[in-house]
Amino acid sequence: MIGPLRAWYDRHFSDPQVVILALLLIFGTAVVVFAGRLIAPLLASLIFAYLLDGAVQKLQRWHMPRLAAVILVFVVFVTLFIITLLGLIPLLSQQVTQLVRELPAMIAQGQYVLMELPERYPQFISEEQVRDLIVAIRAEATLLGQRMVSLSLSSAMHLVTFLVYLIIVPLMVFFLLKDKEAILAWITGFLPRDRGLASEVWAEVNVKIASYVRGKFIEILIVWAVTYVTFTLFGLNYAMLLSVMVGLSVIIPYIGAAVVTIPVAMVAFFQWGLGSEFVWVLVAYGVIQFLDGNVLVPLLFSEVVNLHPVAIIAAVIVFGGLWGLWGVFFAIPLATLIQAVIRSWPRHGEVPSSEEKA
């Protein structure tokens, strides 16, 4: 038993650079898994700083000093953050509250529609099946109400922590942007000098992750804005709430659009019934999804991510289960990292290139 394990170890870990890469991956995964909740503000700050650094670098290429570029980008970031906090969140909270209040009436209307089904289609559905379905819907509605109450209590209990984060995260973002070079120099001081394989993997992944994350934020904003304008023009209730849901649904490839279709269709149905407005709203929503998948995504991402759909869905399931919303958002970048590691990992019997032989 020891012989085959020894042979496997020698085949894959005889190169010190492979050991360094493996240790870095294990350490990074362990930190996120076991200390993710404790260092959540730091991780959030790193993500925002990583996103904003692209704008800072672009301003630097336009011959603006880094400190001035950091201050300008940070001021824009804080301004947009405050506008979102004071303008969007109260509106979303108001629409969620209104939707919860109207939920019993929607359920009653839905029950009335369901009770008509056995009369219209007795060969497909019986009254007993409809009663069982109504009981299940009522149970789910009760459970949803309990969850909303518990969520409100939990939010109230964590309000102080949230307010602290509102101060800490922007400050950390500013200093991470301002002292980027010094921080990177300090971190690399703890790493071995001979880390060529790890640097090669990071160079490949960095370009793809940066392009993907920034492109995904742009996609969210565009889909959100277009959907909000469309729903508002049709006069659909809860236009802001539904458009935010549609915008955020692009985070989850393939699955998100299908899931968000349900609340959009339900709100439209309870507002207009099976009329022409209901049909036109769904047609417009379908056009938005089609343009997003076939025009916007190719323009924003191009060849940034070259993963099979099965790999993408598997990554969403695995990383979403591990880290929740952040895991879902970074599922594709993390899958890209794994792909880069697999591609760069030395294989047994690999023939050296002409440059290596020379």
Map tokens 């709100």 to a residue.
267
Mind listing the pLDDT tens digit for each residue in 149-170? Answer: 555 545 555 566 666 677 888 8
- For residue 126, which phi and psi values (nearest 5 degrees)? -110, 165
In the chain, % of residues over pLDDT 90: 10
Map tokens 């071995």 to a residue.
192
Helix (H) / strand (E) containing 112: helix 89-120
Beta strand residue intervals within 196-325, DSSP E: none
Which class for 30: exposed (0-12), middle (13-18), buried (19 or more C-beta within 10 A)? exposed
In the predicted structure, residue 352 carries a pLDDT above the cut 70: no
Q: Which pLDDT does position 196 carry in this prediction?
A: 65
Average pLDDT, the chain: 76
Mind listing the pLDDT tens digit for each residue in 292-325? Answer: 877 887 777 655 556 666 777 777 787 777 766 6
What mean pLDDT do residues 231-260 have?
A: 86
Q: Which pLDDT does position 357 carry in this prediction?
A: 41
What mean pLDDT do residues 233-245 have?
A: 90
Do the beta carbons of residue 209 and residue 230 sit within 8 Å? Answer: no
Mind listing the pLDDT tens digit for each residue in 78-123? Answer: 898 888 778 787 888 788 888 877 777 777 777 777 777 777 777 7
Residue 355 pLDDT level (bands cut at 50, 70, 90): very low
Is pLDDT larger for residue 106 or for residue 177? 177
pTM comes to 0.70
Calculate Rg over the CA atoms of the chain. 25
Q: Map out the domains of the chain as residue ranges.
A: 15-187, 197-345
